[in-house]
């Protein structure tokens, strides 16, 4: 069985983490460029952005409004720790604001920041921290009753991929699944 959602958010830390040629042109994919430590040349980023436009892939830059406007990105991604309201000034244009949250308090903060979509984690148990709390399907669906624009992230792998059909959301987000390039991304593309 396959997971069918309207939107797939792929969070990458480098433009080398993903091959855009593997993605079909179907307006379902969004790439969130979350470069925290590495330096990538602006001309390479511009080429990557142009390729995203050609493939009809939405492109978001995390926490860097200057870079997002320079690349003419589709919007900005505000991490859970980002408390800035500067992105609201671009809300009047087609610039979309999406954010990340880990609790109800952070969801409200992201709504105040103007986020149209909120990536909410952790959905499932993650490999890098076995003792970290996670929501599960039932709890996530309960959060969706209050906010329909939540997108699940965290612990999504081949074993629990079909459980996403039980979640009443419009999409889901992958981060480590994209970076490690397991079979899960090939099932999406």
Q: What percent of the chain has pLDDT over 90?
A: 33
180 within some domain: yes
At residue 147, φ and ψ (nearest 5 deg) are -145, 110
CATH code of the domain in which 21 resides: 3.20.20.70
Confidence of residue 189 (pLDDT cuts 50, 70, 90): low
Question: In sequence order, which residues have a C-beta less than 8 Å from that of residue 79 and are 6 or more positions away?
Answer: 34, 62, 63, 99, 100
Looking at per-residue confidence, does 188 or 176 come out higher?
Answer: 176
Task: Indicate the number of domains in the chain.
Answer: 1
pLDDT of residue 1 exceeding 50: no
1 within some domain: no
Which is nearest to 137 in space by CA: 150, 73, 129, 89? 150
Domain holding 174, by residue range, is 7-188
When pLDDT is averaged across residues 3-10 and rounded to a whole number, the result is 82
């Amino acid at each position: 069985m396959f997971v069918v959602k309207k939107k797939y958010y792929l969070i990458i830390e480098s433009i080398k983490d993903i091959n855009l040629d593997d993605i079909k042109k179907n307006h379902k994919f969004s790439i969130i460029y979350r470069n925290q430590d590495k330096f990538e040349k602006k001309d390479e980023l511009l080429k990557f952005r142009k390729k995203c436009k050609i493939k009809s892939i939405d492109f978001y830059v995390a926490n860097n409004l200057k870079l997002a406007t320079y690349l003419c990105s589709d919007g900005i991604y505000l991490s859970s720790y980002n408390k800035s309201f500067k992105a609201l000034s671009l809300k009047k244009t087609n610039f979309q604001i999406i954010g990340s949250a880990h609790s109800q308090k952070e969801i409200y903060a992201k709504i105040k920041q103007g986020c149209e979509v909120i990536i909410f984690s952790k959905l499932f148990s993650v490999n890098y921290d076995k003792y970290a709390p996670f929501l599960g399907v039932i709890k996530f669906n309960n959060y969706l009753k209050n906010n329909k624009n939540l997108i699940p992230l965290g612990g999504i792998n081949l074993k629990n991929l079909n459980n996403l059909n039980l979640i009443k959301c419009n999409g889901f987000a992958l981060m480590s699944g994209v970076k490690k390039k397991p079979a899960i991304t090939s099932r999406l593309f």
